């Protein structure tokens, strides 16, 4: 009862002050996290946001809103008032909604406050696999057609993008794709021998690589990763990858288009500073993410390029539901 | 020596002891409320304890986990509404006991057996974690599929009366479970172009509706019947009773540990399988199953608490979650700067023994809190129906909403409640529906994985089964259990005799 009365009183107080948006933030900001508690998006957002709160001098109440590959959360924020008090904390998935027929909206309706970091894809195999490098894997596939089992996680997920990239560079791969509902279960299956090769995000595999229960075959980046300096990049294996790389899933904070400049400026400054916090960078490093910390036009360009690369890879792999050309997504390099 | 010190951390630090106790206490009550799940409580705690040290945070979560798994049985016994899916089997015999005025005895037995099961789970975790996780990893998609088929065969034990009605209910459950966006191919199934159906039908909403609302509607038939007086003379079961059910409890605890340790299956399936096991091995129960058999309480309650220790096995040794709760806890370890994975036991052996210690403490707290509140708790059943019925209705609505903060789930819950009411009115069992929903994905996904891995060749699929001892054993179990439920079996036995 007391909370209800208190809530009503604060609501009244806000009603009085909300008219003048001079002092943003004048009340609690609601942060909607697109994915579940304990997941990577959740971890990233919950560790960076306290630092942003300090800079803002306000409170951000974070809530996980899952479902429909993140579309529930996206729609919620898009439908809320664009006043800077509802913030979307999400990952890369919305940039593929239109191509994959999962929804009508994506981040083009949003203002990127900060694209915090991106993940690096890595190709891993079981410890006893008869191949240890990218080249050996390709040779093995050629010699044993239809035998190597690749883990996948449904069209649009990281594994599907990486395999689409591989097929685009190397030509059709005669392998079996075994579908899993997430990279966690697929990496478990890899250790149990149910699948042979899995494209995963570095952070999800690094502990197993360290323990020797998984073997890294190639880093999907243009430069070697400092956490695994001995692992060659895909570009070293085949120059063709340089068209697509660097590519990776990313995390970002967004507000809806039409949010007052004052709020955008305050949030952008807060998250830019928060992303520099030492413990946040340390966390990103242990989880194998590469810091980006970009906003504004730079972030918009990144999003557009990401969408173009990925949507067209999906289209070429025959996985796209809607042709990116019809959606007005330019081909990479156009 | 240092292992012992780490194990004792919780006991020696009053703050941690307090947090485990607090968590367990909260867990018992969170678990008892349908719709408020342990998974949800632990996810809330993750943000709540973000700035804490790792030990206190984990202590609280472990308490909630242990208490919550146990708490689900409370409402199952008292109101026929399982607080969580893992308590569904408990309702089958627990509720009939409450109706006979023996709710106190029922809760007493479930508490002691949950404690015992929990203890076996922890013991296996402490003594044999690497071996068990190695075994769990060997389960291939086809083995999970066979396990799901084994589960489907439980329909026989869960349907008292007509088997045909049970099969119908089970098939209906499987159909419910397959609604929504298929997670493997992102193809919508049974969605009829309704965006609302894309995410599937929330299984907890189905459970609350089927058990809660249908119970409310059924109770309306006899609003004026006075409530059953509860005998509360005997709560702590006698030593003789405990001794009598100990072998069964031990067997089902091991079922619980193994099923719990398998990534992809958890306490819900473990409890149902154990119930089935109890029904199979108990030749002459004092009271028939479904009418208040003690064995029907002992088996699922031992198993679901043993599954807690089981779920930690792959988490601690491989960084692979054994169930939804341990999946969130892995996230918590990450947040607190640890790297859960195969190196955790080497980099942070203290964490392993600390968790074992916290689990032991939580288990003791569960026993204490479980046995102390009973007198008050059983009074719930004695509340006049005119008060109790609206209360259950309210609880069901709040519970269904709380799962996802979604009003759609409330509608589903109400719809399935009405449907469940008619099912019960016409003698269709509800257990198989929930069983079907739980197993739907396990069966479907793993069948597809298995057959895709074999290049969609049935011949290769079967030769794969016979090349793996594990798959062969599972297949044999499926065949044996299936045959034992057919007239053929009775024929063979009669001939022998």
Q: What is the pLDDT of residues A272-314, one digit of tens each?
A: 999 999 989 988 888 889 899 999 999 999 999 999 999 998 8
A68 CB neighbours in chain B (<8 A) are 181, 198-199
* Separation in Å, CA of A17 to nearest CA in chain B: 29
Does a structural domain hold residue A327?
no
Whether the CB-CB separation of B179 and B2 falls below 8 Å is answered with no
Instruction: Tell me if residue A92 falls in helix, strand or coil.
Output: coil
**b/e burial code for range A205-236 (CB count within 10 A of at least 16 → b):** bbbbbbbebbbbbbbbbeeebebbeebbbbbb
Instruction: Tell me if residue A38 falls in helix, strand or coil.
Output: coil
pLDDT at B303: 96
* Separation in Å, CA of A39 to nearest CA in chain B: 6
- Distance, CA of B27 to CA of A266 (rounded, Å): 41
What phi and psi, each to the nearest 5 degrees, are found at residue A152? -140, 165
B65 CB neighbours in chain A (<8 A) are none
Which among A325, A324, A292 has a CA at the least distance from the CA of A95? Answer: A324
Which among A288, A251, A283, A307 has a CA at the least distance from the CA of A114? Answer: A251
pLDDT at B83: 85
Structure token pair of residue A4:
């209800």
Does a structural domain hold residue A333?
no
Q: Would the CB atoms of B321 and A67 count as touching at under 8 Å?
A: no
- Of A243, A271, A290, the residue at which a domain comes to its end is A243
- Distance, CA of B308 to CA of A176 (rounded, Å): 35
Q: How far is CA B347 from the centre of its chain?
A: 32
Higher-confidence position of B290 and A124: A124
Let me know whether B433 and B465 are in one domain: no
Let me know whether A108 and A125 are in one domain: no
Q: Would the CB atoms of B183 and A43 count as touching at under 8 Å?
A: no
Predicted confidence (pLDDT) per residue in B136-153, tens digit: 888 899 999 999 998 888
Let me know whether B23 and B170 are in one domain: yes
A207 touches chain B (CB under 8 A): yes
**B369: Cα within 13 Å, side-chain hemisphere:** 24
- Of A190, A215, A243, the residue at which a domain comes to its end is A243
| Count of domains forming chain A | 2
pLDDT at B2: 77
Whether the CB-CB separation of B212 and B417 falls below 8 Å is answered with yes
H/E segment holding residue A190: helix A183-192
Sequence-ordered list of residues with C-beta below 8 angstroms from that of B185, at least 6 positions apart, any chain:
A154, A155, A179
Mutation for testing the A interface, residue in B37, B58, B453, B460 having most A CBs under 10 Å: B453
Let me know whether B411 and B483 are in one domain: no
Confidence band, pLDDT 50/70/90 cuts, at residue A47: confident
B342 CB neighbours in chain A (<8 A) are 207-208, 211, 213
pLDDT at B260: 92
Let me know whether B496 and B430 are in one domain: no
Q: Would the CB atoms of A195 and B453 count as touching at under 8 Å?
A: yes
Please check the confidence at residue A16 and state whether its pLDDT lies above 50: no
Residue of chain B whose Cα is closest to the Cα of A51: B51
pLDDT above 70 coverage of chain B, percent: 99
What phi and psi, each to the nearest 5 degrees, are found at residue A63? -140, 135
SS (H, E, C) B315-339: HHHHCCCCCHHHHHHHHHHHHCCCC
What is the length of chain A?
334
Q: Would the CB atoms of B453 and A155 count as touching at under 8 Å?
A: no
Confidence band, pLDDT 50/70/90 cuts, at residue A1: very low
Let me know whether B442 and B477 are in one domain: no
Whether the CB-CB separation of B58 and B358 falls below 8 Å is answered with yes
Confidence band, pLDDT 50/70/90 cuts, at residue A21: very low
Domain residue limits at A37: 2-16+24-118+249-316
Q: Would the CB atoms of A50 and B138 count as touching at under 8 Å?
A: no
Confidence band, pLDDT 50/70/90 cuts, at residue B497: low
Let me know whether B148 and B161 are in one domain: yes
pLDDT at A12: 45
Measured between CB atoms, which of A38, A207, A208 is closest to B328?
A: A38
Which among B308, B296, B352 has a CA at the least distance from the CA of B157? Answer: B296
Whether the CB-CB separation of B285 and B278 falls below 8 Å is answered with no
Domain residue limits at B474: 457-497
Does a structural domain hold residue A219?
yes
What phi and psi, each to the nearest 5 degrees, are found at residue A122? -140, 145
Measured between CB atoms, which of A62, A65, A178 is closest to B453?
A: A178
Indicate the pairing of strand A29-33 with strand A60-64.
parallel
- Distance, CA of B102 to CA of B95 (rounded, Å): 9
- Distance, CA of B182 to CA of B320 (rounded, Å): 23
**Lowest pLDDT segment from A123-127, B215-219, B382-386:** B382-386
Residue of chain B whose Cα is closest to the Cα of A155: B185
Q: Would the CB atoms of A102 and B137 count as touching at under 8 Å?
A: no
Let me know whether B342 and B203 are in one domain: yes
Q: Where are the beta strands (DSSP E) in A175-314?
A: 176-179, 197-201, 215-219, 250-256, 289-294
Q: Would the CB atoms of B137 and A154 count as touching at under 8 Å?
A: no
Which among B377, B307, B442, B364 has a CA at the least distance from the CA of B76? Answer: B377
Does a structural domain hold residue A260?
yes
Let me know whether A31 and A112 are in one domain: yes
Q: Would the CB atoms of B184 and A180 count as touching at under 8 Å?
A: yes
Does a structural domain hold residue A81?
yes
A195 CB neighbours in chain B (<8 A) are 453
The three-point CA angle A104-A107-A113 to 5° equals 160
Confidence band, pLDDT 50/70/90 cuts, at residue B496: low
Let me know whether A209 and A305 are in one domain: no
* Separation in Å, CA of B326 to nearest CA in chain A: 10
What DSSP string runs through B78-96?
A: HHS--SSGGGHHHHHHHHH
CATH number for the domain spanning A178: value is 3.40.190.10
- Residue B291 neighbours by CB distance under 10 Å: 15
Mutation for testing the A interface, residue in B347, B449, B455, B464 having most A CBs under 10 Å: B449
Instruction: Tell me if residue B470 falls in helix, strand or coil.
Output: helix
Predicted confidence (pLDDT) per residue in B35-69, tens digit: 778 888 888 887 788 778 889 999 999 999 999 99
pLDDT at A334: 67
Q: Would the CB atoms of A211 and B452 count as touching at under 8 Å?
A: no
Let me know whether B415 and B441 are in one domain: yes
Let me know whether A157 and A134 are in one domain: yes
Let me know whether A114 and A71 are in one domain: yes
**Lowest pLDDT segment from A11-15, A86-90, B76-80:** A11-15
Which among A326, A312, A311 has a CA at the least distance from the CA of A96? Answer: A311
Let me know whether A11 and A53 are in one domain: yes
Let me know whether A127 and A236 are in one domain: yes
Does a structural domain hold residue A297?
yes
Does a structural domain hold residue A331?
no
Predicted confidence (pLDDT) per residue in B86-129, tens digit: 898 999 999 999 888 888 889 999 999 999 999 999 999 999 98
Mutation for testing the B interface, residue in A33, A35, A36, A37 having most B CBs under 10 Å: A37
Measured between CB atoms, which of B43, B140, B404 is closest to A192?
A: B140
Let me know whether A105 and A133 are in one domain: no
Arithmetic mean of pLDDT, B377-406: 84
Whether the CB-CB separation of B88 and B268 falls below 8 Å is answered with yes
A68 touches chain B (CB under 8 A): yes
H/E segment holding residue A118: strand A110-119
Whether the CB-CB separation of B329 and B357 falls below 8 Å is answered with no
H/E segment holding residue B492: helix B487-496
Please check the confidence at residue A20 and state whether its pLDDT lies above 50: no
Higher-confidence position of A211 and A67: A211
- Residue A138 neighbours by CB distance under 10 Å: 17
**DSSP count for chain B of H helices, then E strands:** 25, 2
Let me know whether B466 and B324 are in one domain: no
* DSSP state at residue A233: B
Q: Would the CB atoms of A179 and B337 count as touching at under 8 Å?
A: no
Which among B424, B32, B106, B387 has a CA at the least distance from the CA of B227? Answer: B387
What phi and psi, each to the nearest 5 degrees, are found at residue A310? -70, -45
B344 CB neighbours in chain A (<8 A) are 207
B179 CB neighbours in chain A (<8 A) are none
- Of A201, A216, A243, the residue at which a domain comes to its end is A243
* DSSP state at residue A331: P
* Separation in Å, CA of B442 to nearest CA in chain A: 11
Whether the CB-CB separation of A37 and A64 falls below 8 Å is answered with yes
Instruction: Tell me if residue B410 falls in helix, strand or coil.
Output: helix
Confidence band, pLDDT 50/70/90 cuts, at residue B230: confident
Let me know whether B415 and B462 are in one domain: no
CATH number for the domain spanning A45: value is 3.40.190.150
- Distance, CA of B29 to CA of B36 (rounded, Å): 9
A330 touches chain B (CB under 8 A): no
Let me know whether B57 and B81 are in one domain: yes
A332 touches chain B (CB under 8 A): no
Helix axis angle for B374-382 and B103-137, nearest 10°, is 110
Let me know whether A234 and A130 are in one domain: yes
**B303: Cα within 13 Å, side-chain hemisphere:** 34
B447 CB neighbours in chain A (<8 A) are none
**B95: Cα within 13 Å, side-chain hemisphere:** 18
Q: Which of residues 136-195 of A touch B (CB under 8 A)?
A: 146, 149, 154-156, 176-182, 184-185, 188-189, 191-195
Does a structural domain hold residue A266?
yes
What is the length of chain B?
497
Q: Would the CB atoms of B263 and A154 count as touching at under 8 Å?
A: no
Predicted confidence (pLDDT) per residue in B160-198, tens digit: 778 889 999 999 999 999 998 887 777 888 988 887 787
| pTM score | 0.84
A75 touches chain B (CB under 8 A): no
Sequence-ordered list of residues with C-beta below 8 angstroms from that of A88, at least 6 positions apart, any chain:
A32, A34, A73, A74, A77, A110, A253, A254, A255, A256
- Residue B424 neighbours by CB distance under 10 Å: 17
B47 CB neighbours in chain A (<8 A) are 37, 46, 62
Which among A222, A274, A216 has a CA at the least distance from the CA of A57? Answer: A274
What phi and psi, each to the nearest 5 degrees, are found at residue A16? -75, -35
Let me know whether B55 and B173 are in one domain: yes
Check: complex ipTM more than 0.90: no
Residue with tokens 């002050």: A17
Instruction: State in Å, rounded, how far the first CA of chain B is from the last one.
Output: 59
What residues pair up with B189 in beta bridges, in sequence order? B180
Let me know whether A85 and A56 are in one domain: yes
- Distance, CA of A169 to CA of A316 (rounded, Å): 11
Measured between CB atoms, which of B140, B330, B337 is closest to A194?
A: B140
Please check the confidence at residue A215 and state whether its pLDDT lies above 90: yes
Let me know whether A259 and A238 are in one domain: no
* Separation in Å, CA of A300 to nearest CA in chain B: 28
Q: Would the CB atoms of B140 and A193 count as touching at under 8 Å?
A: yes
Let me know whether A195 and A224 are in one domain: yes
What phi and psi, each to the nearest 5 degrees, are found at residue A199? -85, 125
| Count of domains forming chain B | 2
Predicted confidence (pLDDT) per residue in B10-27, tens digit: 888 899 999 999 999 999
């Amino acid at each position: 009862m007391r909370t209800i009365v208190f809530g009503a009183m604060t609501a009244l107080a806000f009603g009085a002050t909300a008219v003048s948006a001079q002092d943003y933030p004048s009340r609690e900001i609601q942060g909607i996290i697109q994915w579940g508690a304990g997941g990577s998006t959740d971890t990233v957002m919950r560790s960076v946001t306290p630092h942003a709160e300090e800079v803002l001098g306000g409170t951000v109440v974070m809530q996980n809103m899952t479902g429909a590959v993140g579309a529930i959360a996206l729609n919620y924020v898009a439908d809320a008032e664009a006043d800077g008090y509802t913030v979307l904390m999400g990952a890369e998935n919305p940039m593929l909604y239109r191509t994959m027929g999962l929804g009508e909206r994506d981040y083009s309706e949003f203002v990127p406050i900060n694209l915090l970091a991106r993940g690096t894809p890595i190709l891993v195999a079981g410890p006893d696999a008869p191949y240890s490098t990218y080249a050996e894997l390709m040779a093995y596939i050629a010699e044993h057609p239809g035998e190597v089992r690749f883990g996948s996680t449904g069209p649009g997920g990281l594994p599907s993008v990486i395999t689409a990239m591989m097929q685009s560079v190397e030509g059709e791969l005669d392998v079996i794709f075994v579908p899993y509902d997430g990279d966690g279960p697929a990496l478990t299956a890899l250790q149990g021998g149910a699948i042979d090769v899995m494209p995963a995000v570095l952070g999800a595999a690094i502990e197993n690589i360290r323990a020797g229960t998984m073997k890294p075959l190639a880093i999907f980046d243009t430069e070697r990763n400092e956490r695994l300096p001995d692992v060659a990049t895909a570009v070293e294996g085949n120059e063709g990858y340089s068209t697509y790389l660097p590519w990776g899933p990313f995390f970002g904070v967004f507000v809806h288009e039409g949010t007052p400049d004052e709020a955008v400026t305050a949030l952008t400054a807060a998250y830019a500073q928060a992303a520099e916090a030492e413990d946040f960078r340390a966390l990103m490093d242990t989880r194998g993410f590469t810091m980006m910390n970009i906003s504004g036009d730079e972030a918009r360009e990144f999003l557009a390029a990401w969408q173009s690369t990925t949507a067209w890879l999906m289209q070429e792999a025959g996985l796209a539901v809607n042709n990116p050309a019809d959606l007005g997504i330019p081909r990479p390099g156009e | 020596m240092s292992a012992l010190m780490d194990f004792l951390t919780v006991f020696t630090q009053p703050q941690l002891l307090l947090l485990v106790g607090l968590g367990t206490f909260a867990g018992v009550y969170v678990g008892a409320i349908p719709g408020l799940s342990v998974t949800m409580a632990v996810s809330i705690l993750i943000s709540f304890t973000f700035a804490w040290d790792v030990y206190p945070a984990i202590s609280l979560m472990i308490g909630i986990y242990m208490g919550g798994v146990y708490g689900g049985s409370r409402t199952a016994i008292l109101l026929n509404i399982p607080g969580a899916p893992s308590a569904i089997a408990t309702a089958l015999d627990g509720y009939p006991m409450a109706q006979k005025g023996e709710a106190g005895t029922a809760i007493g037995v479930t508490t002691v057996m949950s404690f015992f099961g929990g203890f076996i789970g922890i013991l296996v975790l402490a003594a044999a974690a690497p071996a068990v996780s190695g075994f769990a990893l060997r389960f291939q998609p086809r083995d999970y599929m066979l396990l799901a088929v084994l589960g489907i065969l439980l329909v026989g034990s869960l349907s008292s009366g007509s088997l045909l009605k049970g099969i119908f209910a089970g098939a209906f459950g499987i159909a419910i479970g397959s609604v929504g966006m298929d997670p493997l191919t992102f193809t919508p199934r049974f969605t009829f172009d309704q965006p609302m159906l894309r995410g599937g039908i929330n299984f907890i909403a189905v459970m609350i509706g089927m058990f809660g609302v249908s119970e409310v509607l059924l109770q309306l038939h006899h609003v004026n019947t006075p409530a059953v007086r509860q005998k509360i003379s005997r709560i702590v079961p006698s030593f003789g009773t405990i001794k009598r059910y100990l072998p069964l409890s031990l067997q089902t605890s091991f079922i619980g540990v193994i099923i719990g340790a398998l990534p992809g299956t958890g306490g819900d399936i473990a409890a149902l399988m154990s119930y089935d096991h109890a029904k199979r091995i108990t030749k002459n129960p004092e009271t028939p199953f479904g009418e208040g058999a003690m064995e029907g309480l002992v088996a699922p309650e031992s198993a679901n608490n043993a599954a807690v220790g089981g779920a930690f096995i792959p988490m601690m040794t491989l960084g692979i979650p054994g169930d939804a709760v341990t999946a969130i806890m892995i996230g918590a370890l990450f947040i607190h700067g640890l790297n859960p994975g195969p190196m955790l036991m080497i980099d942070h052996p203290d964490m392993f023994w600390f968790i074992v210690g916290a689990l032991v403490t939580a288990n003791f707290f569960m026993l204490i809190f479980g046995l102390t509140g009973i007198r008050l708790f059983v009074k719930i059943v004695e509340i006049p129906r005119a008060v109790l019925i609206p209360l259950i209705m309210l609880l069901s609505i709040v519970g269904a909403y709380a799962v996802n903060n979604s009003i759609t789930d409330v509608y589903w819950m109400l719809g399935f409640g009405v449907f469940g009411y008619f099912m019960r009115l016409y003698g269709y069992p509800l257990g198989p529906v929930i069983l079907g929903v739980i197993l739907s994905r396990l069966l479907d996904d793993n069948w597809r994985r298995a057959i895709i891995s074999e290049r969609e060749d049935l011949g290769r699929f079967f030769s794969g089964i016979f090349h793996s001892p594990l798959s062969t054993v599972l297949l044999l179990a499926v065949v044996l259990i299936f045959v034992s439920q057919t007239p053929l079996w009775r024929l063979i036995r009669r001939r022998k005799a």
